[in-house]
Chain A
Amino acid sequence: MSKPILELKEIDVYYGPIQALKKVSMHIDEGETVSLIGSNGAGKSTLLMSIFGQPRAASGQIIYQGTDITQKSSHYIASNGIAQSPEGRRVFPDMSVEENLMMGTIPIGDKYASEDMQRMFELFPRLKERRNQRAMTMSGGEQQMLAIARALMSRPKLLLLDEPSLGLAPIIVKQIFSTLRELAKTGMTIFLVEQNANHALKLSDRAYVMVNGEIRLTGTGRELLTNEEVRNAYLGGH
């Protein structure tokens, strides 16, 4: 449980002249659930995308399972076991639910496809009802489930989730977090980006707090839940 699966060493990321991430260092150990919390525009999504080199870090290093992946192509990184449910969901609008799920199997081939698809349908029964429906015609919450399920279809070693609770009804959020808890129990490493700090911190072993592109605080989920600054800024101050 102590070997880091992913390590960021002082990475700087720019969008043109604007610096989005400043000397960000963090690590995620194998089997851990880690969350990154912070307000809108703090650079959380940029951090997740820069793990895939989009945009690429201008300086610093990203180490995955002992290999430097800072300059590797996105498809190389995906083929080696990192999957992402990205900001804005990005399901393929013109594809059916099943086709979208099949797109998740690219890194491992389709030998587990039907078995895993059944598993996803158990996890998210709503997707089963809509299996032949085009993704663009589904609600935001359904698309969110689809994006998470698609990421899981590659049986990732490291799952990156960008705001899985965004736009979902509270009952679905609860359901998704309990699903994540189960996944974490199976040993999957999860890196979660959330504005919904309460849920995220309860689920996580450790967490980082990001402000304006910098890591401001770090600690265990429990520590941060009781931290005065975090409570005031992200937990509604009660």
Chain B
Amino acid sequence: MDGIFLQQMVNGLTLGSVYGLIAIGYTMVYGIIGMINFAHGDVYMISAYLAAIGLAVLSFFGVESFPFLILGTLIFTIVVTGVYGFVIERVAYRPLRNSTRLAPLISAIGISLILQNYAQIAQGPRQQGVPTLLEGAMRFDVGSGFVQITYTKIFILIAAFIGMGVLTYIIKYTKLGRMCRATQQDRKMASILGINTDRIISYVFVIGAAMAALAGVLITMNYGTFDFFAGFVIGIKAFTAAVLGGIGSLPGAMLGGLILGVAESQFSGLINSDYKDVFSFGLLVVILIFRPQGLLGRPLVAKV
């Protein structure tokens, strides 16, 4: 098989797993309150800054070994980003819970602008960067070419899949997960059974933000640079992934992310990297024409 194909496959899976992590936040929030959280990409952007801050603070205190550094940064970033998710829901969406469908959408765009400008003022408009944490790569000869997999990519793949696995387990098998699903399927009935649905909605925002935070740390490790606008494009991509997989479906978001990542990488590796975004959004259009509910989504049935 062609070396470049395999190389782009690895790159695509890495990128796609991170898209999938961010897409989880879109799909879970949509599933539970039926709104698109346009601020989610910017929550990811905030987490990239937090990751850099976490790394800087830990290195300042002399933590140098990779496992401690990354673990500390992950915990710090996930916790603080989770607080962001909680506060955003509380301040911007909950007061609009029983208003029109459009109101929280506009509120989300507002939060998105606030977060971008806040990051720009607090951290400056220039690109920020972090040093490479994990040096080195594995190299395989394939036919006439070779495939190179950096240790960073391997780490990203493993961490992203662990994140998705843990979340899937929580949603599928724990009491909290059952309460989330119940609230998603019938909020009124869930409250009649004694579930504090407002609290469950808060948890969903925290979970979404935590997954975005994991993505933020991983992407920052891989690319090393980011700025206050970094959430926009990746947010749109992750949203595309969520729609592609079937918005509202958790496995759909992960699958959509992987497909989008691989498609984008293959297209830019084999055909043309300038038009990769055109290709991924084109793919979305084609899938939505033939499967409007997305790959793993349920056909929309009018609720009575």
Contacts and interface: CB of A to CB of B under 8 A. Distances in A.
Per DSSP, chain B at the interface is: helix
Interface in B148-183: 175, 178-179, 181-182
7 contacts: A74-B191, A78-B193, A78-B194, A92-B189, A99-B178, A102-B175, A107-B193
B83 interface: no
A154 B194 contact: yes
Interface in A71-88: 73-75, 78-79, 83-84, 86
Contacts of A103: 178-179, 182, 190, 193
Contacts of B188: 54, 74, 90
A92 B181 contact: yes
Interface in B192-229: 192-197
A52 B192 contact: yes
B186 interface: yes
A107 B181 contact: no
A92 B194 contact: no
A217 interface: no
A92 B188 CA distance: 11
B185 interface: yes
Interface string A91-116: 01111000100111011001000000
B195 A95 contact: no
Given A95-B178, A102-B178, A103-B178, A84 B185 contact: no
Given A86-B189, A90-B189, A110-B175, A95 B194 contact: no
Given A93-B185, A95-B181, A110-B175, A150 B193 contact: yes
A86 B192 contact: yes
A136 to B, nearest CB: 10
Given A73-B196, A92-B182, A92-B189, 8 more contacts: A83-B193, A86-B192, A94-B185, A95-B182, A99-B178, A102-B175, A103-B190, A103-B193
A92 B186 contact: yes
Interface string A102-132: 1110110010000000000000000000000
Interface residues of A, number: 24
| In the A-B complex, the 4 residue pairs with the closest CB atoms | A78-B194, A74-B191, A106-B194, A107-B194
Contacts of B178: 95, 99, 102-103
A235 B185 CA distance: 37
Per DSSP, chain A at the interface is: loop
Contacts of B192: 52, 54, 74, 78, 84, 86
A167 to B, nearest CB: 15
A92 B185 contact: yes
A106 B179 contact: yes
A106 B193 CA distance: 7
Contacts of B179: 103, 106
B197 A75 contact: yes
Contacts of A93: 185
A31 B33 CA distance: 39
A75 B185 contact: no
Contact of A95 (B175, B185, B191): B185
B191 A78 contact: yes
Contacts of A74: 188, 191-192
Contacts of B190: 103
A83 B189 CA distance: 11
Contacts of A83: 193
A79 B194 CA distance: 5
Interface in B119-173: none
Contacts of B191: 52, 54, 73-75, 78
A102 B173 CA distance: 12
Contacts of A90: 186, 188-189
A75 B186 contact: no
Contacts of B181: 92, 94-95
Interface in B87-120: none
Contacts of B196: 73, 75
A144 to B, nearest CB: 14
Nearest to A80: B194
Nearest to B196: A75
Nearest to A94: B185
A99 B182 CA distance: 10
A157 to B, nearest CB: 13
B123 to A, nearest CB: 41
B194 A75 contact: yes
Interface in A21-49: none
Contacts of A75: 191, 194-197
A78 B186 CA distance: 16
Contacts of A99: 178
A99 B180 CA distance: 12
A187 B197 CA distance: 31
